[in-house]
């Protein structure tokens, strides 16, 4: 994908799906629950509608069970089998992300220049980079306290760029990386002031290009 950035190959993904046990009880399955941020492209096959809810900073989030390189959808039927409600699943998912984020070393953040613009890129190796937008307390520890514009083109890729970056440049970089992953995300940008995240669309910048 580029210097220091990778994604799982299809065979690894399908192998993990074949070993998944959907009948695990909640007391075991809860540790693998993760947020599922919206994909740009629909699945190429029919899937059950996941349970979704809007979480700060304003992202419509589904939930899945983590298989490593992939996630399986948590739908209403799965909630019923586990005997838990949606808000419980959401809270557990965020707690799991926060716990995994605590184990991430800031040295994982790769800092480089792209077309003259300083960019910090994080791949966690545990599939939670984009989900850190939902637990922003982790952002300062990993990226530093400086204001930034964040984009998350993939499940395990989060980029921080200067807050005053030309939005066309930011949109272009995000779109270029999205194009490398058939399961890419398309969330727009998120302004970070060191304490809060504020979402903003980048689609307008591309439309005017």
Residues 38 and 56 in one domain: yes
User: Which residues are within 8 A (CB) of 38 and not within 5 positions of it... i.e. 6 or more apart?
Assistant: 59, 60, 61, 62, 185, 186, 187
Rounded-to-integer distance, Cα 66 and Cα 16, Å: 10
Task: Please indicate, yes or no, if residue 5 is contained in any of the structural domains.
Answer: no
pTM to 2 decimal places: 0.84
Residues 44 and 115 in one domain: no
Rounded-to-integer distance, Cα 117 and Cα 166, Å: 10
pLDDT of 32: 93
Task: Please indicate, yes or no, if residue 192 is contained in any of the structural domains.
Answer: yes
CB atoms inside a 10 Å sphere around CB 103? 8
Q: Which helix (H) or strand (E) holds 135?
A: none
| Phi and psi torsions of 174, nearest 5° | -60, -45
CB distance 160 to 129 below 8 Å: no
Residues 153 and 125 in one domain: yes
Domain stop point among 71, 102, 133: 102
Tokens of 158: 């989060």
> Which residue range(s) make up the domain with 150?
106-207
pLDDT digit string (tens) for 71-124? 788 999 999 999 999 999 999 999 999 999 999 999 999 999 988 899 999 999
pLDDT of 107: 96
Residues 139 and 161 in one domain: yes
Question: Residue 41 above 60 pLDDT?
Answer: yes
Rounded-to-integer distance, Cα 182 and Cα 47, Å: 16
DSSP-derived 3-state class of residue 69: coil
CB atoms inside a 10 Å sphere around CB 84? 17
Tokens of 169: 């440049």
Domain stop point among 53, 74, 102: 102
Peptide bond between residue 109 and the one before it cis (omega within 30 degrees of 0): no
Residues 77 and 57 in one domain: yes
pLDDT of 17: 53
pLDDT of 115: 81
Domain stop point among 50, 67, 102: 102
Task: Please indicate, yes or no, if residue 2 is contained in any of the structural domains.
Answer: no
The residue to which tokens 């490398």 are assigned? 180
Strand ranges, E, within 24-116: 33-36, 52-55, 59-66, 71-73, 110-114
Which strands make up the sheet holding 117-122, listed edge to edge? Answer: 110-114, 117-122, 157-161, 148-154, 189-192, 197-200
Residues 98 and 116 in one domain: no
The residue to which tokens 């069970």 are assigned? 65
pLDDT of 72: 84
- Closest by alpha carbon to 150, among 173, 179, 127, 116? 173
Residues 129 and 89 in one domain: no
pLDDT digit string (tens) for 143-162? 998 999 999 999 999 999 99
């Amino acid at each position: 994908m580029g210097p220091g950035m990778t994604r799982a190959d299809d065979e690894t993904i399908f192998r993990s799906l074949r070993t998944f046990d959907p009948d695990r009880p909640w007391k075991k399955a809860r540790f693998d629950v993760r947020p599922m941020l919206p994909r740009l492209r629909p699945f190429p096959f029919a899937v059950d509608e996941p349970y979704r809810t809007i979480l700060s900073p304003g992202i419509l989030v589904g939930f899945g069970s983590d298989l490593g390189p992939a996630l399986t959808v948590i739908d209403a039927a799965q909630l019923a089998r586990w005997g838990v409600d949606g808000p419980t699943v959401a809270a557990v998912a965020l707690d799991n992300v926060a716990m995994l984020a605590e184990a991430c070393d800031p040295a994982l953040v790769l800092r480089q220049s792209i077309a003259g613009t300083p960019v910090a890129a994080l791949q966690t190796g545990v599939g939670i980079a984009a989900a850190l937008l939902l637990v922003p307390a982790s952002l300062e520890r990993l990226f530093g306290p400086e204001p930034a514009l964040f984009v998350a083109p993939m499940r395990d890729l989060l980029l921080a760029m200067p807050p005053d970056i030309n939005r066309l440049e930011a949109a272009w970089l995000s779109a270029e990386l999205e194009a490398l992953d058939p399961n890419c995300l398309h969330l727009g940008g998120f302004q970070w002031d060191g304490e809060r995240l504020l979402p903003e669309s980048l689609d307008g910048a591309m439309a005017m290009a």
